[in-house]
Amino acid sequence: MTEQQNGNAFSDPQLPTAVVQTRSRFSLVWLIPLVAAVIGAWIAYKTLSEQGPRITITFKTAEGLEAGKTKINYKNVEIGHVEDIDLSEDLSHVVVTARLVRYAEKFLTENTRFWVVRARVAAGQVSGLGTLLGGAYIGMDVALEGKRTYGFTGLEVPPKIIRHDPGRLLTLRADKLGSLQINSPVYFRDIQVGEVVGYVLDDSSQSVDIQVFIRAPHHQRVHVNTHFWNASGLDISLGANGLEVDTKSVVSLMLGGVAFGNPINTDLGPLADADTVFKLYPNRKRAFERPVARKRQWLLHFTNSVRGLSVGAPVEFRGIEIGEVIDIKLQINLDEVSLHIPVLIEIESDRLEPLADMTHVEGQQTDEEPRRTFWDQLVAKGLRAQLKTGSLLTGALFVDLDFYPNKPSQRIIWTGDYPELPTIPTTLEEFRNVLVNTLQKLEQLPLEQISLNLQQSLTALSQAAVQLEQLIGQLNTNVAPALSTTLAQAHKALKNAERTFGTMEKTLEMAEKTFSPNSPLQQEARVLLKELGAAARSIRVLADYLERHPEALIQGKRGGRR
C-alpha cells in the first residue's frame, strides 16, 4: 500500500518538486581539539628533543640523597637531578636514576666519575661544609675519552684529583708505607706543594706504590734525578754538634709526610712525566748518599758473644760507613766442641777499591785478580775486622775495619761461598784475656814464701824504727841545747860581719873620692877587702856546716884534725 501511494504522489502533477541540499560535514568546532592536539604534539616533541640523557648510578647507600631534590653538579654548575632511587635486586647497593641536561651527553664516557658530596671530616682535611645548609649533591668528574655508557658505579670517597687540575701525578715506590696516609703533605723546601692521594701494593707485593700529586707550578721542579724521602715524625741525630731534632711540621708529625729535593752539582735531567717512578728513601740522609755501583759480600767469624750486633748494623772504616751487616748465624762443631758465629757483611767496594790499580777488559767486567791482590795487600798491612760499641746507652755493636800492624800475620780465605776477612777480639775481650793471663801467672808465684819474707822484712824494719827513735831522743837531750847556743852566736857574728862590710864599703867610697885609682893605699884596700871577703865566706861555710852537723861542736870534724 505504501508503494502505491508513493507512486500516486509522484505522478500527481499538482505537487511541487522538493529540492534536496547536501550539508558540509566539517565544523568549526572541530578546530579547537585539532589545534590543541598539534600544540600538544609540538610541546611533546620539543620536550623530548630538549630532554637530556637518563643515567643510572650505583652507590652502597643513599645517605643524603632524595629523589626530585638532589642535584648533580659539575664545577658547581647544575647539569642534572635525581629522579628516582631504588634498591638493587640483591639488596647490596642502591640504584640512583638521574636526568642530565642535553649537552651533558658527550660527557658520559666510561672514565667519567660520580660521587656524593657531603660534609666529611678526614685526617688532616675537612670538606663539604657547604652541604650542611644546602644538602648533599652528586659531584661529577668529566672525561671525554672512552666509550659511551649510561651506567656508572659511584665513588664512595671523593677523588683527590679532578681531571684538568693543574699539576702532575707521580708514583713513589717504597719498601713499606710507614706513617703515610691519604692527605699526607708533600714538601719542597718546607713548603707544602702537594699531597698523598693514594697507595697500592705493586704486582709482586714486595713494595708499595704511593701516588702523590704535585700542584702547579711546583711540578716543574721535579726532574728524573729528583730525590724523594719520608719526612714523617722526628728526625733525631746525635753528633759532634750535640742533639739535633728535625721535623717538617706538626701535621707531618701526626699524619706523616713526603719531601723532595734536587741534588747539588748533579745533572737533574729532563722534567719527570706521569710514568716516572721514584724511589722513596727512608730519610734525607739516605736520599743524598753517594750512589754505589757495586758491592761485595764478606764473611767474618767471631768466637765470642755478639750480643748487641743486629742485621742492618753499620760497617765502618775509621768512622766512615761503608756497608752493613746483612746476616748473622750460629755454627756449632760437636767434634771440636767449638762455637763459631759467622757474620755476613756487605761493603761498598767502590769506596775502597778505586785506590788500587784496576784494569778493565774490553767487553767484560772489571778483572777480579787486581781486586784480590789489593785486598790481600790490605790484610798483609794489618787490616782486621773488630766489633765495637756504637752506643753506651743501648749497647749496640757495629763492625769496624782498621789497621793493626802489630797483630799476627793472617790471610784472606778466598775459598767458599764468600771470602773471609780476619777478625780480632774486641777491646774488652783483649782486656779480659790479659787479666786472665795475669791471674794465671799470679797463681804460679810462691805467694807463701813471699809472704813469709815480707813479714820478716817488716819485723826488721820495725826494730830499726825503734832504734832510730831512741837515737833521736838522745840527740835532743844532749846536742840540742849546745847546738842552739852555737847557732845563736853564729847568727850574731854574721850580723856583725854584715855591719863591718857596710862600713868598709862606705870607707872605700870615700877613699875612691880622695885617692887616685893607681895609688898604693887603694891597692892595699882592695887586698884587704879580698881577705875580709874570704873570711866572711869561711864564716858562712862554718855556719852552714854547723847547721848540718851540730855534733861537730862536741866530737870535732870527721876526717882528722888539722
Per-residue pLDDT at 250 exceeds 90? no
The beta-strand segments (E) located in 390-480 are 397-403
Per-residue pLDDT at 365 exceeds 50? no
**pLDDT value at position 363?**
40
Nearest-CA neighbor of 56 among 108, 4, 8? 108
Mean pLDDT of 358-377: 65
Per-residue pLDDT at 3 exceeds 70? no
Question: What are the domain boundaries of the chain?
Answer: 50-155, 167-288, 295-352+370-426, 445-553
pLDDT band (50, 70, 90) for residue 49: low
Mean pLDDT of 194-213: 87
Condensed to tens digits (0 to 9), the pLDDT of residues 437-485 reads: 777 776 776 767 777 777 777 787 877 777 777 777 766 676 666 667 7
Per-residue pLDDT at 396 exceeds 90? no
Per-residue pLDDT at 97 exceeds 90? yes
How much is the mean pLDDT over the chain?
78
Q: In this structure, what DSSP letter does residue 545 have?
A: H
Residue 192 CA neighbour count, 13 Å, CB half: 13
**pLDDT value at position 465?**
77
Mean pLDDT of 118-131: 62
Compute how many other C-beta atoms are within 10 angstroms of the C-beta atom of residue 177.
16
Lowest-confidence segment of 116-130, 155-169, 215-229, 326-340 by average pLDDT: 116-130
Lowest-confidence segment of 19-23, 182-186, 525-529 by average pLDDT: 19-23
Per-residue pLDDT at 131 exceeds 70? no
pLDDT band (50, 70, 90) for residue 151: very high
**pLDDT value at position 40?**
81
Mean pLDDT of 198-213: 87
Q: Calculate the CA 100 to chain-centre distance.
A: 53
H-state helical runs in 273-367: 284-287
Counting residues of the chain whose pLDDT is more than 90, the rounded percentage is: 15
89-95 contacts at long range (C-beta below 8 A, 24 or more positions apart): 93/58, 93/59, 93/60, 94/58, 94/59, 94/60, 94/61, 94/62, 95/56, 95/57, 95/58
CA distance 511 to 173: 111
Lowest-confidence segment of 60-69, 135-144, 363-372, 388-397 by average pLDDT: 363-372
**pLDDT value at position 172?**
92
Residue pointed to by grid coordinates 671525554? 144
Residues in contact with 161: Cβ distance below 8 Å, sequence separation at least 6, in sequence order: 167, 169, 197, 213
Per-residue pLDDT at 381 exceeds 80? yes
**pLDDT value at position 480?**
62
pLDDT band (50, 70, 90) for residue 555: low
Contact 298, 419 (CB under 8 A): yes
Looking at per-residue confidence, does 143 or 354 come out higher? 143
Residue pointed to by grid coordinates 784472606? 412
